[in-house]
Amino acid sequence: MPRFPLLPVQPDKFTLVFLVFLMVVTTAILVGRFAMKNEQTSTDSPSDLVSVSPVPTAPASGAAAAPEKATRYVVKTIDGEATFVDAASRAGLDATATFRVAQALRNMIDFRRDWKEKNRVAFVFDTKGDKASSEDQGRPGMPAAVRVVTDAGEHDIFLYRNLAGKAFYYTKRGDRARGGGFLRYPLDFRRISSQFSQRRFDPVLKRWQPHDGVDFAAPSGTAVHATANGVVTFAGVQTGYGNVIEIRNRPPYSTLFAHLSRFAKGIRIGTRVKRNEVIGYVGATGWATGPHLHYEVQVDDVPKNPLTVSLPPAEPLQGRDLSRFASRSETLEDLL
């Protein structure tokens, strides 16, 4: 038995073998990480835009854990991309995955208006990923969690397979990221020509009064969409508002669209409309100085600022699904 002057205790044969094994495994892990980093820097320039970090699921207990089992989640962080699609493709998402993630984030981010190159996107991939059909959002290649950091803050979505076996993206609170909720904007507009305000000088009436909605300037004839599912409670002419549509959405919400040039086919009192369905077209009927949409969101019949009012989510997780989701999203959130 050889003696080891540097060790406080002289090991027996078994301990010695174990120590050597531990050293070999540690070295293998370190070399593996180094190689991965090198690969990243050689394929991407500038190199700091993508960082890949394998994350151990649990602290390595014993030296027996093989390196590929020790890493379940892979995190990719991207910034400096001109569009979200560029960021997603850089993280390795295919076109389908990119589309589904973008759809899931749509209620939180307006990709055309809010996207800036400095925005940061983090993707967490679950390498264990369960098998699923190609229509299912839980198919391999779909990120388990995504965080987009914009000027407005952090927007997170988490992929969760519910007890019924279907996988969808959910917000941190367990609401379907893209369910029957609200769209923020009812049209593709040029600019906001008048903000919601308790008191503004009305250019037509020439007097101070509240402005109960937002005016979106857009060319005459631009399609106006329902912002949520609902029932038309008014479609006709009102003094001031011109051609106007009122929709009762899920309580306590209702929405109003004014100054329309005309209504879409089939829009009358009692018509059921779906979110994003075209209900009419921009015009300048009633008291309007030019073509625009006057849009109101009312909560319990009180007008709220459509640009900032908190809009209802849809199909929230409940019961056991919610508790399972909470523990999973907590794990994933730590990685973002």
Q: Which residue is nearest to Zn ion (CB)?
A: 294
Least distance from Zn ion to the Cβ atom of residue 192, Å: 10
Closest to Zn ion by CB, 83 or 193: 193
Least distance from Zn ion to the Cβ atom of residue 202, Å: 9
Closest to Zn ion by CB, 84 or 241: 241
Helix (H, G, I), strand (E, B) or coil at 112: helix
**Nearest CA-CA partner of 156 in 147, 143, 169, 164:** 147
Closest to Zn ion by CB, 138 or 291: 291
Cβ-Cβ contacts under 8 Å for 301 (sequence gap 6 or more) = 254
Rounded CA-CA distance 15/12 in Å is 6
Q: Which of residues 199-228 bind Zn ion (CB under 5 A)?
A: 215
Least distance from Zn ion to the Cβ atom of residue 241, Å: 9
The DSSP result for 48-70, as a single string, is GGEEEEEEESS---STT--HHHH
Binding mask 282-321 for Zn ion (x = CB under 5 A): ------------x---------------------------
Closest to Zn ion by CB, 184 or 294: 294
Closest to Zn ion by CB, 98 or 194: 194
Binding mask 124-163 for Zn ion (x = CB under 5 A): ----------------------------------------
Least distance from Zn ion to the Cβ atom of residue 293, Å: 8
The DSSP result for 264-297, as a single string, is PTT--TT-EE-TT-EEEEEB--SS-SSSEEEEEE
Size of the site for Zn ion (CB under 5 A): 2
Q: How far is CA 240 from CA 23, 92, 173, 317, in A?
A: 81, 53, 41, 43
Least distance from Zn ion to the Cβ atom of residue 301, Å: 18
User: Is the Cβ–Cβ distance between 259 and 242 less than 8 Å?
Assistant: yes
Closest to Zn ion by CB, 155 or 294: 294
Least distance from Zn ion to the Cβ atom of residue 259, Å: 8
Q: Are strands 191-194 and 153-161 parallel, antiparallel or unpaired?
A: unpaired
Residues within the interface to Zn ion (CB under 5 A): 215, 294
